[in-house]
Amino acid sequence: MLKLSGGMMWVGLLCLSAAPAWAEGKADLKRAEEIVAGRCFLCHGMEGESSSPLFPRLAGQHAKYMAKQLEDFKSGKRRSDTMKAQAEDLTPDEMQALGLYFESRRPQPHEPGDRDLALVGRYIFQKGNSFSGVASCASCHGPKGYGTPLLPRLAGQHPEYIAAQLQQFNKRERTNDNAVMHAIASKLTELEIKAVAEYIGTLE
């Protein structure tokens, strides 16, 4: 399995004045679990580990990013008939709660399907391609693919899903978050797309 060395550590500070917000957060997570059990689990699983590469793994995804995607599905800014129907009746609070729920799930490691291809992808992910003007994925999503609250966590995502999203960005079929990603995806060869996607799938 391909791994990057090092780890990430965060420290949270908790004070008495934050207790009511914490209690409210727990209530939100309970509501989120009800929604996941009622609809999301069919495609994404209760723990965010979807069984099909057609559907993204959501375990460990950033809550704020997820809430934005749900809002974009609901408004039609990101087009998907399936997801629009799922998000149609969600409130902003429920979207935030669903984001927090899946962010709290532990992502599972996955073996590369093609180790040689993943090594090519590692180079593109970490260094880009200076010959064609492709920026490194790590420059925005971080060296381990963890992303930020505004940029998606990529680490451990289905390679097939990553490749499909890059192809959609290239063709401008992905109807949100298109500006920067189209400029990058349009310069990637098919080999580079497949290789980067394969490598991303191995990140933990």
Nearest Cα neighbor of 186 from 132, 130, 122 is 132
Pairwise CA distance, residues 124 & 136, whole Å: 6
pLDDT digits (tens, 9 = 90+) for 133-169: 999 999 999 999 999 999 999 999 999 999 999 999 9
Does the predicted model carry a pTM greater than 0.75?
A: yes
Pairwise CA distance, residues 75 & 81, whole Å: 11
Shared domain for 99 and 124, answered yes or no, is: no
Q: What is the CATH number of the domain that holds 180?
A: 1.10.760.10
Placement of tokens 């799922």 in the chain: 86
Domain boundary among 75, 103, 131: 103
Shared domain for 152 and 122, answered yes or no, is: yes
pLDDT digits (tens, 9 = 90+) for 8-54: 333 333 333 333 333 444 548 999 999 999 999 999 999 999 989 99
For the chain, what is the domain count?
2
Q: Does any domain span residue 153?
A: yes
Q: Does any domain span residue 149?
A: yes
Shared domain for 126 and 195, answered yes or no, is: yes
Mean pLDDT within 178-198: 95
Shared domain for 52 and 95, answered yes or no, is: yes
Structural domain boundaries enclosing 61: 21-103
